[in-house]
Every structure is written in structure tokens, then in C-alpha cells.
């Protein structure tokens, strides 16, 4: 498939002719500007950067030994006199205790924090793609309403002419115009007004939803030209074999959302290793120095020094360590299942979008190359026949309505095609890496 779809290009030219070409580009909101504003204004991306920095700092802190604990104590004081020299056992002690976590707890905790931090560039890439897709769909929805309004407003003059023609023919009694022709023309004009009101409502609703992402810029008129979106990485629906599951999976396996879940799987597997460390004892080393004053006779007494090691005994593991390891393993398997579900969903969405793009191309080609020219000819012939007193007024009106509807339908198909391409581009986003390029299907 070529980069520029011929029917889309032709239809864009047709719709461009109906646009308000006098508007300066600086006064319009283009799709590219909308996407840039939405990404720049997204606070989630900023929060993700803060979270990543926090996890990096926590990784450094987690790899550090706990602070030593100091103990100051006056021991064995006689309670009858509180005289420090009365008893030989009285002493003032200072001690330091250092805890040593179980096994490789420090290194594993640091690694887990780093793995969680490495998720966030991938999550931001996925978020950026999601935001871009969301505002693209909203922009296209508002564009469809805006251009439909333009088409109707420009054809409104034709229906007003039909009213004038019917009234003139009915008043002069020279033609075959009837009162019901005048009423029919006025009725269709009223229906156009109602249709315009509905389209204004749709445009305002889409722009209000768009304001959530781009703020006050959403109130600006949209650019009059329909942008031609191209599937990412030269992907085309014809290049993918529908029944080749592996070929489809190669296109989505490096999606940042899936890669982020891979990182999370790694972090939960590190959590399993952390749980296993609880089978190992936690150690502490204590050193104490005890000062003793002279005895009542003035003789010097030796100061005392103590050193000791303490550790716990994880021997009753059935209800604690065993269960914690089992819980960590189950959590890892749950995340793996979540990854499988995400891959299946992305794969199904890609297949669906592929078929939608194929059908949209077929319909757009049919409308642009055949239906629009044929309906235009029919409308022209019907009006000419009526003006020559050789046709029915109702048929002339129906032909004009059919021509207007065909233009709006062609616009809707072209916009829907761009929506499908936007969704495909989200599905084909890849994590930036030089060693994970997908195998291109043949």
C-alpha cells in the first residue's frame, strides 16, 4: 500500500475546496499542534518522572546497611544509696549494635527498586502514545462535525434556490410547480437547520472533551484540511497474513505496555528471591564498654568490654516463610497472566483494525471514484429536467439531498479511516531499542 491513499488524497482535495481557506493557520488548531499540546500538558508524565526518581533514590537507600544503634546504660546501681562506688558490679556502659539483614536482602531490594524504576520510561512511552491517540480521535470527531457543517451550509444556498424556484413557478403558474413543491422545499430547508443544530452540538461536545487535554486551545476552529495519517513503520494490512498468528505477534511483542509488564514480571521474580531470603537468619553484632569507678578503698578496678553476636532461628517456616514464598510466586504468575491477556487484546485490536482499514479503503474508493460523481450527475440532471418542466420537483429535491448525504458519508468514511490508522499507530508503537526489531512479515 502506498504511503498516500489515492481516494483519501482526492477526498482531502475536495473537502479542502469547501474549507474556509481565508483563515490563517495561526488561528486554527491543527492535529499536530493538538497532539503536542496534549502531551506537553499531561501531568501523568511528570508524575511518572518523579516516581522513577523516587524509586532510584530508594534503590540506593535500600542497599545501605541499617544505622548502628548506640546504647548508654548505667548498670547495677545500689538502690539503697545510689553510690556509684559502693558495689563492685556498678558500671556505666556504652554499646554499639549493628544489624545485618538476611542473606542478599540489600542487593535484591536494590535490584527490585531499579527494575520498578526501569518500567517508567516504557510507561511514559505508552502513555504518550495513548494520549496522542485519544486527542487524535477527539480532533477527528470535531473535524467531522465541523466539515459536515460547512458542507451543509454551502448546500443550504442550493436548497434556498430550490425554494425560490418553486415559489416563482407556483406564483407565475407558468410551470408545473405546485404548492406541495414549495412546502417540500421549505421542509427540507428546516430539516437542514435541525441537522446543523445537531452537528453544532456534536462539534461542541468533541471540543469540550478535547479541552481536557489541550485547555483553551480546543475552542479554536480546526484546520480545514483532513490530515493523511500513515500507518507506523510502513505497516500495511495487505502485508500481514490474516492466519499467521506469529507474524501478527511480532508486531506487538515490543509494545511499551508489554515491555513494561515484562519489567514488572522481573521485579516480582526478584520478590520471590527476597521471600526466600527469609529462610536465612538475620544477624546483629554488639560491642559494649563498661566503665567502673575505684572501689571504696581507692583501688582501681578494671573496666569491662563485651562483644556478642545474635541471630534469629527461622525454623518454624510452614506458616510464615513457606507461605510468603508461595505468595510471591503466585503474584509473579498473576502478572505473567496479565501480560498474556494484554498481548491477546492488542493482537485482537490489531486484527480488527486491519480489517477496518481494508474495508474503509474499499468504501472510500467506491465513494470517491464512483458514487460521488454519479450522484452529482443525477442531481444535476434532475434539477435540469425540473427547470425544463420535464421532471418531478420531489425527485430534484431527493437528488440534492442524496448528493449532500453522499458528501457527508464520504467525509465520515475518510475520518473513520484516519481514526483506524491512529489506533493502528498506537498498537505498533515500539520501545526504543536496537536489539528488538520485529521480524517483518512477508
Q: How many domains does the chain have?
A: 1
Residue 123: CATH number of its domain: 1.20.1600.10
Q: Does residue 217 sit within a domain? A: yes
Q: Does residue 310 sit within a domain? A: yes
Nearest CA among 235, 257, 258 for reference residue 248 = 235
Note down the domain range covering 302: 6-427
Judge whether residue 243 has pLDDT over 90: no
Q: Which one has a higher pLDDT value, 184 or 91?
A: 91
Q: Does residue 203 sit within a domain? A: yes
pLDDT for 282-337, tens place per residue?
Answer: 999 999 998 887 776 777 888 889 999 998 888 888 888 899 999 999 999 999 99
The answer to whether 65 touches 98, Cβ cutoff 8 Å, is yes
Q: Does residue 1 sit within a domain? A: no
Q: Does residue 442 sit within a domain? A: no
Mean pLDDT of the region 139-153: 93
Which are the contacts of 238, defined by CB distance < 8 A and separation ≥ 6?
Answer: 1, 358
Q: Does residue 239 sit within a domain? A: yes
Q: Does residue 435 sit within a domain? A: no
The answer to whether 71 touches 97, Cβ cutoff 8 Å, is yes
Q: Does residue 441 sit within a domain? A: no
pLDDT for 107-136, tens place per residue?
Answer: 999 999 999 999 999 999 999 999 999 999
Nearest CA among 227, 240, 226, 230 for reference residue 3 = 230
pLDDT at 120: 96
Burial class (CB in 10 A: 0-12, 13-18, 19+), 8: buried
Amino acid at each position: 500500500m502506498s504511503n498516500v491513499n489515492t481516494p483519501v488524497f482526492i477526498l482531502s482535495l475536495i473537502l479542502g475546496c469547501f474549507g474556509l481557506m481565508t483563515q490563517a493557520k495561526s488561528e486554527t488548531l491543527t492535529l499536530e499542534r493538538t497532539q503536542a499540546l496534549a502531551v506537553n500538558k499531561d501531568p501523568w508524565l511528570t508524575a511518572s518522572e518523579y516516581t522513577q526518581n523516587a524509586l532510584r533514590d530508594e534503590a540506593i537507600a535500600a542497599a545501605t546497611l541499617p544505622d548502628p544503634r548506640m546504647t548508654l546504660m548505667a548498670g547495677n546501681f545500689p538502690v539503697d544509696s545510689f553510690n556509684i562506688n559502693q558495689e563492685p558490679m556498678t558500671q556505666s556502659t556504652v554499646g554499639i549494635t549493628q544489624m545485618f539483614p538476611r542473606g542478599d536482602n540489600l542487593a535484591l531490594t536494590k535490584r527490585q527498586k531499579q527494575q520498578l524504576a526501569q518500567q517508567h520510561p516504557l510507561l511514559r512511552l505508552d502513555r504518550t502514545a495513548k494520549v496522542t491517540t485519544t486527542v487524535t480521535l477527539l480532533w477527528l470527531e470535531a473535524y467531522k462535525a465541523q466539515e459536515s457543517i460547512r458542507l451543509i451550509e454551502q448546500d443550504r444556498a442550493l436548497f434556498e434556490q430550490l425554494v425560490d424556484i418553486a415559489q416563482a413557478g407556483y406564483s407565475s403558474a407558468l410551470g408545473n410547480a405546485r404548492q406541495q413543491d414549495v412546502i417540500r422545499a421549505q421542509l427540507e430547508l428546516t430539516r437542514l437547520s435541525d441537522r446543523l443544530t445537531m452537528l453544532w452540538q456534536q462539534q461542541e461536545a468533541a471540543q469540550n472533551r478535547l479541552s481536557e487535554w489541550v485547555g483553551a486551545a480546543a475552542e479554536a476552529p480546526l484546520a480545514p484540511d483532513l490530515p493523511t495519517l500513515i500507518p507506523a513503520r510502513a505497516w500495511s494490512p495487505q502485508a500481514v497474513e490474516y492466519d499467521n498468528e506469529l507474524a501478527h505477534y511480532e508486531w506487538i511483542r515490543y509494545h511499551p505496555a508489554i515491555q513494561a509488564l515484562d519489567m514488572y514480571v522481573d521485579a516480582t521474580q526478584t520478590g520471590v528471591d527476597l521471600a526466600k531470603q527469609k529462610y536465612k537468619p538475620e544477624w546483629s553484632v554488639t560491642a559494649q564498654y563498661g566503665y567502673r569507678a575505684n572501689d571504696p578503698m581507692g583501688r582501681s578496678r578494671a573496666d569491662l568490654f563485651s562483644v556478642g553476636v545474635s541471630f534469629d532461628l527461622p525454623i518454624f517456616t510452614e506458616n510464615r516463610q513457606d507461605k510468603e514464598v508461595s505468595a510471591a510466586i503466585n503474584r509473579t504468575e498473576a502478572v505473567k497472566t496479565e501480560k498474556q491477556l494484554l498481548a491477546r487484546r492488542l493482537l485482537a485490536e490489531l486484527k480488527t483494525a486491519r480489517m477496518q482499514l481494508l474495508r474503509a479503503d474499499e468504501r472510500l474508493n467506491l465513494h470517491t471514484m464512483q458514487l460521488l460523481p454519479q450522484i452529482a450527475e443525477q442531481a444535476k440532471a434532475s434539477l435540469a429536467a425540473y427547470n425544463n418542466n420535464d421532471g418531478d420537483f420531489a425527485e430534484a429535491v431527493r437528488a440534492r439531498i442524496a448528493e449532500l448525504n453522499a458528501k457527508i458519508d464520504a467525509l465520515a468514511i475518510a475520518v473513520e479511516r484516519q481514526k483506524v490508522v491512529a489506533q493502528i499507530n498506537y498498537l505498533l508503537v515500539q520501545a526504543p531499542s536496537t536489539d528488538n526489531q520485529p521480524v517483518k512479515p512477508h
